[in-house]
Chain A
Amino acid sequence: MIHIEGLHKKFGKNPVLSGLDLTINKEGVFAVLGPNGSGKTTLIKSILGMVVPDKGTISVQGEPIKKNWKYRKEIDYLPQIANFPGNLKVRELIRMIKDLRQSPSDEDRLIALFKLEPFLDKKLSTLSGGTKQKVNIVLAFMFDSPLLILDEPTTGLDPASLIHLKELIREQREMKKTILITSHIMQFVAEVSDVIVYLLEGNIYFKGSIEALKTKTGQTDLEHAIAAIATRPSHA
């Protein structure tokens, strides 16, 4: 699915990724975690082709992504900040993204799930932050791509929508998809993810199941295990 080898990226003089290797070749939910500035966003943006790596190779579904844009048909992306052209209506925005991707979509089910019908003819600038995030989720989940990348998907959601989001993620996992998630909410991560990929100083520090992480750190819950992992010396 995703194969990354020797990925290097510097912003100015500041190295963000230094020789990162990562292979994800099965379905499931992979949580990309790490302290602020550890390179999570840069890693995700490199996979999406938004950041151009200094060195190293990335391939998605066996296709190298360098100077390629068609591979993004295989990826659905939920960006961290939902901000859309203010004078477009919700309906028009959904139509635009469908128009651009030209793939089959099931937005109606998602619109009903998040109760967005009353907002379809409203301008995006009039929506609240949480409603915008729901639109964002509809845009990311309405296509049927084998790879999903969700950047802080829980931002601004009310409890009911959060439950729907978790259901959607479970549903996608059952459809044998690969899902990459970043989040700072450990309870959410513990609930939805199969594998933890922990980044530290631009490299993968730990990759394995939540259970393995707990055993390694000697902690009983994920939040403490994550907090402990960065401070304890590694034996791996």
Chain B
Amino acid sequence: MSVNINPKKTGQSNIDDQEISQRRQNNNYIVFGIASRKYGVEVDSISEIIEYGRVLKVPMTPSCIHGVVYLRGNMIAVIDIASLFSRPKSQPDARSSIVIIDCVYRGRELRLGFLVESIERVVELSLGDIELRPEFSVELDSGYTRGIGIVEKEMVTLLDIENVLSVESIMDLVESQYR
């Protein structure tokens, strides 16, 4: 089973300008759990979410490489974000999913997946709901985050997923394994 999240479908043709500008302000985020913390990623940057299963381990790679999955004819690398954030490796269970994103590397389209412990919900956050520069210290490099959102009294770290899953830095990590 797979859930298709097509951002194009949310836009309707007969919305007026006011609504458009409001939509620009408000973004939909998918909230998920990784290493018992809540993170959010903009829906638009996600191409699909698949159930966890059939992951092939790749020995002799850094711990951030969770493995590869076979999706419609291609092998897609699955990244363990917890490991990237120097937290204990994720242990997948029945609630785990793999979130697939499209990125561009050297002019080519590239698909990449990352492991999440659970998918919580989709929330709409306006700019006002997001603390862009939180005063309290966050465990992450500021390049990785877009801010902190409050969802039902719970803090959600909004990730800049393209920076977190930078193809170059992951490739460097893989290569550094053999030095």
A and B associate: no
Which residue numbers of A lie inside 8 Å of B, CB to CB? none
> B residues touching A (Cβ–Cβ < 8 Å)?
none
